[in-house]
Amino acid sequence: MTMTKPMAQRFSGRLAVVTGASSGIGAAVCHRLTDEGARVLALDVNAPRPQLAATVEFVRTDVASTEAWQRVAAVAAERGGADILVSNAATVDVAAAHETDDVSWDRQLSVNLSAAFKGVRALLPQLRPRRGNVVIVSSVHAHMGLPGRPAYAAAKGGLCALGRQLAAEYGPDLRVNSVIPGPILTPAWDWVSEADRHRSAAQTTLDRMGTPEELAACVAFLASDEASYVTGSELVVDGGWSITKDST
Ligand SMILES: NC(=O)c1ccc[n+]([C@@H]2O[C@H](COP(=O)([O-])OP(=O)(O)OC[C@H]3O[C@@H](n4cnc5c(N)ncnc54)[C@H](O)[C@@H]3O)[C@@H](O)[C@H]2O)c1
């Protein structure tokens, strides 16, 4: 007989704000945090699926907007104040640097980098007195050069630097950590061919793509008290993608 282990309640009584919550990793993070007792404000430009909508409070938000963050901070304050921010929303235009125009560059930097700064700035008055924490979802693109994503890579590298900076600036009141996902099978891969997915999977040591749930488990660890002595860190969650390269 299969027994389902009851989920720990590490976030009981806590309010988490999660961006990019309607899809992929963000949705999995929302499920994980609510399963473990958190109340979640789920932010996205797109509405969540009904199964997620039933367990979170959805606030339609463009995370690039300073005014939107002011509204989110007001909602969080009404709910008792935010304990956790998971900055996860992202957008990418695939184009070489010489084909990336100002509009595309600015939009990607706004959504992928500035939004994390704006989110922390807006929620800091709530996070600090609660000894809260921030988890930033970066990417292997922060560390590795992969053609066709100059703005995305610059933003992801900037997120890691921002995370360290914020951790140093606001410790001990605030912990700030980044996760570095490798290939995780989410709707962001819908446009990628089956052959290219296999190629990415084969480039990992574990010989497969990761699941959003595996990434969410790592975000939940960093957001939990079990990571109470972890700050300014980068947790690589890439199945060994970045440590193995074919030498032939
Ligand atoms: N999937 C991967 O292989 C992978 C690898 C490395 C890093 N990441 C990172 O993980 C995070 C989640 O990626 P995913 O694969 O789940 O992507 P996804 O495309 O499935 O989800 C991204 C979500 O962000 C939302 N979003 C986009 N712009 C927004 C805005 N301006 N305001 C609010 N919400 C906005 C989208 O609507 C979507 O719901 C991203 O930061 C991404 O860069 C993913």
- Tell whether ligand 1 has an atom less than 6 A from the beta carbon of residue 61: yes
Ordered domains of the chain (ranges, CATH):
15-237 (3.40.50.720)
Residue 50 has pLDDT above 90, yes or no: yes
DSSP symbols for 61-113: --TT-HHHHHHHHHHHHHTT--SEEEE---------GGG--HHHHHHHHIIII
What confidence tier does 4 reach under pLDDT thresholds 50, 70, 90? Answer: low
Report the pLDDT averaged over residues 66-82: 98
3-class SS letters over 206-233 = CCCCECHHHHHHHHHHHHCHHHCCCCCC
Ligand 1 center to 78 CA (angstroms):
27
- Tell whether ligand 1 has an atom less than 6 A from the beta carbon of residue 88: yes
Nearest CA, atom 34, ligand 1: 44
Report the pLDDT averaged over residues 31-40: 98
Report the pLDDT averaged over residues 65-79: 98
- Tell whether ligand 1 has an atom less than 6 A from the beta carbon of residue 26: yes
Nearest CA, atom 20, ligand 1: 24
Query: pLDDT digits over 167-211, tens only?
Result: 999 999 999 999 999 999 999 999 999 999 999 999 999 999 999
pLDDT at 1: 54
Q: Quick one: tokens of 33? A: 């945090």
Ligand 1 center to 1 CA (angstroms):
38
pLDDT at 6: 67
Report the pLDDT averaged over residues 22-45: 98
Report the pLDDT averaged over residues 153-157: 98
- Tell whether ligand 1 has an atom less than 6 A from the beta carbon of residue 132: no
Residue 39 has pLDDT above 90, yes or no: yes
Report the pLDDT averaged over residues 27-50: 97
What confidence tier does 3 reach under pLDDT thresholds 50, 70, 90? Answer: low
Question: Alpha-carbon distance 66 to 110, whole Å?
Answer: 10
Q: Are 181 and 25 in contact (CB under 8 A)?
A: yes
> CA-CA distances (angstroms) from residue 248 to 129, 143, 198, 245?
54, 23, 19, 9
